[in-house]
Amino acid sequence: MTRDPAPAPPRLSLRDLRKSFGATRAVDGVRLDAAAGEVHAVVGENGAGKSTLLRILAGVLPPDAGSMWLDGVPFVARGPADARAHGLAMVHQELALCPDLDVAANVLLGVEPTRLGVVDRAAERRLAGEALRRAFGPRPVDPRARVADLPLAERQLVEIARALAAAGAAGRPLRVLVLDEPTSSLGAHDADRLLSLVQDLAADGTTVLYVTHALEEVFRVARRFTVLRDGVSVASGDVSGTTTAALIRAMAGRDVEAAYPRSERSPGEVVLSARGLSGARLPRGASFELRRGEILGLAGIVGAGRTELLRAIFGLDPVRRGELRVASVVGPASPARRWAQGVGFASEDRKEEGLALGLSIAENLTLSRPGPAGPGLPRRTREAASRWIAELGIRCTGPDQRVSELSGGNQQKVQLARLLHHEVDVLLLDEPTRGIDVTSKAEIAALCDRLAASGKAILLVSSWLPELLALSDRIAVMDRGRLGPCRPARDWDAEGLLREAVGG
């Protein structure tokens, strides 16, 4: 009598992983099993322990307790290079590329093939070429191109090619690829391409740990999921057997209203308008009107010119042609002048441009506003910050805490609180919910709704179409720098917005 072969062990298995920083238990009992060739989603709110878990997997941090196995063999990486040598690679949300080196050099950085102590150029070209072909597919890429000159979506693919090359240099296939928020800075079109690549890698046998706040992507590419909350695995199972509402409930530990709030709004007079507005490169002849008490949504793929339009309005980018009017004032102006006119801008790049991460919450809130509540008067500054911390529900230790220590959602609230502290009437919001957890998304959406209902005017850029459709009163689509007509949100659906955005 023949016996059936024993089932293969999970490709990656984690049992009761723990990691503390002083009295803080960042990871407090994580359990996870992911099979070979499986896309396994890891979801949780900011502060749930995902970042610490990923750093343990990548060999950046040692666990305090618990165990890990790769294909049934105990595994603890002694560093990122050791993790890659074992066939486990990670692509961080903040890409770790050398922008001034070319594509091939970045792909092979640290794993350059050598022969008798000299770089083997033939092997280098072969290894880089194979990795780039797998990552880019039919999409052409010049291995001699400087990484700094590539669009963000292609830089993300270079990072994935680097992970593939590292495994190839070690003489083994890539066993586990960890992707941390891989589409958070991509538009819908580029996100679709990356998700297709994830599915291709899994079909070839790679296990993909897919860490994301975008729950719609979980249902598109993942087979199984694990939910983290407060450092603990609180739920897991087949994606096909759960719902968005159930995942949100597991992540938050409570019900979070899935539908966006919608208060009664009464659009009033025009407070911001453009006629044939053109920048140095983008936008190209944009025209629109924004009224008090409404949210005007801007749809479009990354690179279409939405960000450039907001930057031109706020005075960060030059205006070459056309008319720009704020209330009764015509013409471009500096950012300082825009602040004085009641116009505020929240950048999509909060870490590099929107916030001073090394300063406190209070300093970030008040730097742009001179006067009795501005910098230089610590007591008044802290009092003003404390009011906004309470009003927006910013989770922190107090107004003196450094912004760099906050979660992404709370950092974004600080950026928005600065606009409210400045008492602006027009808010230019560029991707205000990108890369933050579901609870923070809902809170910021509710804030935008309250602001519009109170008479504020909001020009909203968002690549997440359900959000744009739910929050906006009117929507216009930007395609290659050209802004289409503004139409009521009820006249659009997600398919129509996407078709218009890609020139269909």
pLDDT at 128 over 50: yes
Q: What pLDDT is stored for residue 379 in this prediction? A: 78
Mean pLDDT computed over 27-37 = 94
How far is residue 157's CA from residue 141's CA, in Å, rounded to a whole number?
Answer: 10
The 10 Å CB-count burial string (b at 16+, else e) for 117-141 is eeeeeeebeebbeebbebbbeeeeb
Mean pLDDT computed over 134-139 = 79
**CA dihedral of 163, 169, 170, 173, whole degrees rounded to 10:** 60
User: Phi and psi dihedrals of 334, rounded to 5?
Assistant: -75, 160
Mean pLDDT computed over 282-287 = 94
pLDDT at 359 over 80: yes
Percent of the chain predicted with pLDDT > 90? 48
Q: What pLDDT is stored for residue 254 in this prediction? A: 63
pLDDT at 463 over 70: yes
pLDDT band for position 152 (50/70/90)? confident
Mean pLDDT computed over 271-291 = 95
Q: What pLDDT is stored for residue 257 in this prediction? A: 52
Q: Which of 39-48, 238-247, 452-461 has the lowest mean pLDDT?
A: 39-48
How far is residue 249's CA from residue 227's CA, in Å, rounded to a whole number?
Answer: 10
pLDDT at 259 over 60: no
Highest-confidence segment of 46-50, 224-228, 298-302: 224-228
Q: What structural domains and CATH numbers belong to the chain?
A: 12-252 (3.40.50.300), 270-501 (3.40.50.300)
pLDDT digits (tens, 9 = 90+) for 200-215: 889 989 999 999 877 8
- pTM to 2 decimal places: 0.68
How does DSSP classify residue 482?
A: E
Structure tokens, 438: 């579901």
pLDDT at 29 over 80: yes
Q: 362 or 182: which carries more pLDDT confidence?
A: 362
Q: Which of 115-124, 296-305, 407-416, 478-487 has the lowest mean pLDDT?
A: 115-124
pLDDT at 109 over 60: yes
pLDDT at 81 over 80: yes
pLDDT at 2 over 70: no
pLDDT band for position 246 (50/70/90)? confident
pLDDT at 113 over 80: no
**What Cα–Cα distance (Å) separates residue 451 from each residue in 82, 441, 458?**
50, 15, 8
Mean pLDDT computed over 54-72 = 92
How far is residue 65's CA from residue 419's CA, in Å, rounded to a whole number?
Answer: 44
pLDDT at 437 over 90: no
pLDDT at 160 over 90: no
Strand, coil or helix: what is 436?
coil
Structure tokens, 465: 């179409």
Mean pLDDT computed over 106-129 = 77
The 10 Å CB-count burial string (b at 16+, else e) for 181-213 is bbbbbbbbbbbebbbebbeebbeeebbbbbbbb
Percent of the chain predicted with pLDDT > 70? 93
How far is residue 381's CA from residue 30's CA, in Å, rounded to a whole number?
Answer: 41
pLDDT at 258 over 60: no
